[in-house]
Amino acid sequence: MIQNKFYERFNALIAERGTKVTWIAKKIRTNAQTVRRWRSGETLPSAENLMMLAEIFHTSIDYLMGLSDERSRKQ
């Protein structure tokens, strides 16, 4: 399921980089509670927020959503 893949990969990327939820929220102009909901798998980010998360983590939206196992973005 896409939602499960997203939250698994999102949490892994946060742990790998040691990124704080509050920093992510500030960076993409949302609140920390929204980011916590994404982390728990309760909700998915909007398309706009997915683009910003992909930028933050230097990965593709397809990777974040579990549609590809390739982490790097295509140029």
Res. 1 pLDDT band, cuts 50 70 90: low
Radius of gyration of the chain (CA): 11
pLDDT at 2 over 80: no
pLDDT at 3 over 80: no
Residues 6+ apart with CB under 8 A from 54: 60, 61, 63, 64, 73
Instruction: Give burial (CB, 10 Å; 0-12/13-18/19+) of 7.
Output: buried
Residues 6+ apart with CB under 8 A from 31: 25
State the CB neighbour count (10 A cutoff) for residue 62. Answer: 15
pLDDT at 75 over 60: no
Q: Is the pTM of this model over 0.75?
A: yes
pLDDT, one tens digit per residue, over 22-74 is 999 999 999 999 999 999 999 999 999 999 999 999 999 999 999 999 888 76
